Structure 1
């Protein structure tokens, strides 16, 4: 969620800018290190289209002309093949990171919050894509190329306001045709917005990725005894005298939620993945980069 500067007083704007500037160097440095680790020689996302460089052979489809058939390759089998070239025009990729209050959870002093890890992943992905010549921007903002765009994205993350409650969802009206979109959230609140977003995306030819980011406590539910569970917003509270007795039901519901998200993504031609903040972020970033290029 992006703050509305017009609604803030000069003092509030100054205080927000000071807080953002303190957080910004660490965010950029973490993302730069991660991006360099995963793809030091990044190239653009590969896809068929107008260009000079060979990309791949694919089986001929109805509608392919005889001129497009690679007869030398086809002569080696019983099928006909087309020689695809790699498109050389930049693609536009949108990024959205949930600002729900639940993303501020970090189960231990040695772990980042979900929101911080999601921002680092998104910014590092942006850096890798920009290095490959693609255009990147936050959802609802212009997608641009160039190194300076990474600084703009980092500043927007640092200045982003937290949502009023635990839930936060992207607006389908912000989608633009034939782009790619990366959504990072914990997906723990009502997921009905996912269906609406993917339906709109399908109508516009938008493909993308859903990535669930969770704290290991949310992954494993390591609680026992008397525990008071409370959302960060304070709007949800549950008192339990036997937290261990809830573990299996919780893990079952988490698995069901992931199965549902995966089914929604598969049905829309998207990808779904999940990441725990105690795992190496390089693994998650590498997966995001690969599936975007697939």
Structure 2
């Protein structure tokens, strides 16, 4: 028996309650930032009708659509749509440092990174692309079921004991695309190794540095105690303002290094902040990924 009335409403509420809040937020972001995004359309051996075009020299007579051609003096061919679905692999740093936020009213770096990653995945999946995570059990696939699997995986991603996660792209398909989300403030050796592997396997992608605005501006003054999110490192100073110049120089050098790594491998790099609206960042990511075709 099909549910109706109150029973149907209870079933719908139960189903919606089972969805991770991350998926709901990511769908809202994807729909508001890129409501009309779709896959890449080109003529080819697809199954869906795309358009009529005039007959070209060399077209077989069997390709002519005689019904459309009968409307006038010209002959037309019915073209079908071909979508070259990309394989896009996402990685979100699960290090303890990504749990930082200076203001409780803002998202942590991890929350913002996961939101952007899942929203980007939803937009790509909506366009017929294949999306997965950099792990063997969630390789790039298409479809709504994959969107829900990604949402569950990202929502359940626990912070690692280490301060920074180490990216590993061995599970990413050769020739595919990769988007990496991290603060990239830790040791860059794992990232350099991952980019070397990506270059050897013809993978292209984007480095997305996610920072809290406090990490960008270093507004500290006077006596301050700094402690890593993992609790493994700490430093106390009586004159925090004296460290501001050196800190900003080191952050600028790190950004320059990330830009150089991206440039040398044909990737893009950007920095996004947790106090900014996520929609412009998502739009930039989608457009930057669209350039890698």
Q: TM-score, normalised by structure 2?
A: 0.78
Per the alignment, residue 276 of structure 2 pairs with 279
The 1:24–1:215 alpha-carbon spacing in structure 2 relative to 1, beyond 3 Å, is farther
Aligned counterpart for 1:157 among listed residues 148, 154, 159: 154
The 1:292–1:49 alpha-carbon spacing in structure 2 relative to 1, beyond 3 Å, is farther
Distance 2:218 2:44 in 1: 51
Per the alignment, residue 201 of structure 1 pairs with 198
Aligned counterpart for 2:107 among listed residues 103, 108, 112: 112
**How far did residue 175 of structure 1 move?**
3.0
Q: Output one character per residue of 1:220-249: Cα deviation in whole Å (capped at 9) or x when no partner.
A: 111000001000111111111111111111
Distance 1:51 1:193 in 2: 41
Q: Output one character per residue of 1:75-130: Cα deviation in whole Å (capped at 9) or x when no partner.
A: xxxxxxxxxxx962211101100000000011101100000000000000001001
**How far did residue 50 of structure 1 move?**
5.3
Partner SS for 2:170: helix
Question: For the aligned residues, what is the CA RMSD?
Answer: 2.4
Partner SS for 2:205: strand
Q: TM-score, normalised by structure 1?
A: 0.78
Per the alignment, residue 181 of structure 1 pairs with 178
Farther off after superposition, 233-242 or 141-150: 141-150
**How far did residue 23 of structure 1 move?**
10
Q: Output one character per residue of 1:258-287: Cα deviation in whole Å (capped at 9) or x when no partner.
A: 000000001000000010000110111011
Aligned counterpart for 1:216 among listed residues 213, 218, 236: 213
The 1:193–1:108 alpha-carbon spacing in structure 2 relative to 1, beyond 3 Å, is same
Q: Output one character per residue of 1:172-205: Cα deviation in whole Å (capped at 9) or x when no partner.
A: 4223211000000000111111211111101101
The 1:244–1:132 alpha-carbon spacing in structure 2 relative to 1, beyond 3 Å, is same
Aligned counterpart for 2:32 among listed residues 37, 40, 45: 37
Residues 45 and 292 in structure 1, CA contact (< 8 A), matched pair in contact too: no
Runs of 4+, deviation exceeding 3 Å:
21-25, 48-54
1:27 equivalenced with 2:27 (yes/no): no
Per the alignment, residue 245 of structure 2 pairs with 248
Instruction: Name which one, 1 or 2, has greater alpha-carbon Rg.
Output: 2
Per the alignment, residue 228 of structure 1 pairs with 225
1:40-119 map, 5 Å: 40-45=35-40, 88-119=83-114
